[in-house]
Amino acid sequence: MFGLRACRGVTPAVRRQLFYAGQRVFSTEQSAQVEHRVAVVGGGAAGFYTAARVLAKTSNVGIDIFEQQIPPHGLVRYGVAPDHPEVKNCTSKFASVSLDPRVRYFGNTKVGTRVGVSDLRSAYDAVVLAYGASEDKRLHIRGEDGHKDRVGVVSARMFVAWYNGLPEAQNLHMDLESHDTVVIVGHGNVALDCARILLAPREHLARTDITHHALSALARSNIRRVEMVGRRGPLQVSFTTKELREMTKLDNVQIVCDRSLVESECASAEEFLAHKRPLRRMMDLLLKHSVCPRDARMEKQFHLRFLMSPTEVQYDNGQHVRLQTNGQLVRLQTNGQLVRFQINELEGPPETARAVPTNTYVDVPCAMALRSVGYASTPLDGVPFDSAMRIVPNIAGRVVSDGDAVRGLYVAGWLKRGPVGVIATTMQDAYRTADALIADLQSGAIGTRNSSIDNMLEQLGIDKTRVTNDDWLRVDAYEVAMGSAKGKPREKLTSVRQMLDVISGSNQ
């Protein structure tokens, strides 16, 4: 059991909060009289923003939100860096959506297993697909999947999920001790988040909602160097100035890069940068706060490397070996690994520059390698899917098949446009989908149900395993109370069993 007896150091006041968090003392789910009902598949930002818009623009539409996890809010909970609490402010809006009597929450309910999209379409006036991108793009190189007890190249998505408490990521082995270096392939904001978390001092993270398990592992970490590698040059990076500036503020972390390359690329692209002022400012920031490799002296270092493409991961077979890198002999530790990179050259103007491989290679020994080259959505049975673009084909949020709109079926978020943009982008995108749905309801293009929703859900047994919004509020209160005892915003529960124990009260 995950009970109060395990919460050492908890004050009496917090114990009372924990006790009441486990009681069924109130109910937020009400029975509202509605003319139409919409199913939203996915309880993340896209789903909640779609629901918020529909609720704001109509008075006769009810919404059921289906989410495979017990907690709602998707990547806002499991994807946003713990030291970015301001990004999570949107959860207050999502909470107001959940408290609306026209809304029902179906947590712990994965659409595509016991309940299919076809089941939902038969019972609801409309179905909105907003389940995001649950996979990541691969490198497709030899050794990527690991060797013996080595996990290979870990997706940054799963590393982020690990330190944010996603239950299915908690058993993932994170090697932070066998070597002092981690390699990250990718030059986006997620890659920078990973680098920052790996190099940040413990006190920087201790007051955040990072999980206790992850914080303990990072406190034991031997990682002193992160190599963040991209296949193109400095003018083609995908991260933002805000993320880079946060890296410059980490105590005792030195930013290292090929300054001569940055300077020469900027000098040869003056006209281009004149029209890209944010990029120009970011390059200035990088040059202001970085040193060349030969001048790197600090214990912790963040190396931003350009013009390198991974070609394979090599593993030690249990013996100490010596490898040559840049003319120097490097000792690969027992049970360690290294990533081999091919050096590239840039070809073409900066806005369309492409990486052209050369015949030169470089090896980077490391404890662990992360790939951060993009997220990818997955198909659901009965739903059109563009396997090349990894999206559901649509026109203004209306799902299309063979060029024709599929009646009553809509899509929002990353599943609609691909895994790009920030939460504000998702909000605007979700609003456009909601507006299309509302217009179709008002015109009579949709709105005829073929079966009873509650009967359908009861027949499928969804009512027996469903987690309601009341249930989630108990988990939420418990986590907040646990965090309060440690001076944190919350202490996340990291297993389904722990959450269900809190919901049932068996943790008392």
- Sorting pLDDT into bands at 50, 70 and 90, what band is 452? confident
Chain-centre distance of CA 226, in angstroms? 20
The reported pLDDT for the residue numbered 325 is 45
Instruction: Answer whether residue 338 shows pLDDT above 90.
Output: yes
**12: pLDDT strictly greater than 60:** no
Both tokens of residue 116?
A: 């299919």
pLDDT at 9 over 50: no
Q: How confident is the model at residue 29 (pLDDT cuts 50, 70, 90)?
A: low
Average pLDDT over residues 30-51: 91
pTM of the model: 0.90
Query: pLDDT category, 148, cuts 50, 70, 90?
Result: confident
Measured over the CA atoms of residue 90, residue 206, residue 7 and residue 163, the dihedral's sign is: positive
> Residue 336: what pLDDT?
73
Task: Return the SS3 of 452.
Answer: coil
316 vs 255: which has the higher pLDDT: 255
With the CA atoms of 438, 441, 446 and 452 taken in that order, what torsion angle do they form, in degrees rounded to the nearest 10? Answer: 100
Band the pLDDT of 8: cuts 50, 70, 90: very low
Is 65 in a helix, a strand, or coil? strand
Does residue 13 surpass a pLDDT of 70? no
Q: What is the mean pLDDT of residues 364-390?
A: 96
In this predicted model, what pLDDT tens digit does every residue of 233-256 receive, in sequence order?
999 999 999 999 999 999 999 999
Is the distance from CB of 254 to CB of 299 less than 8 angstroms? no
What percent of the chain shows pLDDT beyond 90?
A: 83
Backbone angles phi, psi at 183, to 5 degrees: -100, 135
Which whole number is the average pLDDT over 135-149? 93
Q: Summarize the confidence of residues 264-291 as an average pLDDT.
A: 97
pLDDT at 317: 52
Mean pLDDT across 470-481:
98
Q: What is the pLDDT of residue 163?
A: 98
Note the pLDDT of residue 142. 97
What is the pLDDT, as a whole number, of residue 447? Answer: 83
- The answer to whether the Cα torsion of 464, 468, 470, 472 is positive or negative is positive
Above 90 in pLDDT, residue 121?
Answer: yes
Taking a C-beta distance cutoff of 8 angstroms, is the pair 456, 64 a contact? no
Is 124 in contact with 38 (CB distance < 8 Å)?
yes
Q: What is the mean pLDDT of the chain?
A: 91
What's residue 186's pLDDT?
98
Q: Tell me the CA distances in angstroms from 153 to 168, 214, 373, 438, one per residue in order.
A: 18, 19, 12, 44
Q: Which residue has the tokens 């955040």?
A: 208
Share of the chain above pLDDT 70, in %: 90
Q: What is the pLDDT of residue 1?
A: 40
CA distances from 160 to 293, 300, 323, 489 (A): 28, 21, 31, 18
Confidence of residue 31 (pLDDT cuts 50, 70, 90): low
Tell whether the model's pLDDT for residue 184 goes beyond 60: yes
Instruction: Report, as an integer, the average pLDDT of 351-355.
Output: 97
Work out the average pLDDT over 372-386.
97
Rounded to whole angstroms, what are the CA distances from 12 to 18, 468, 481?
A: 10, 29, 11
3-state secondary structure of 133: coil
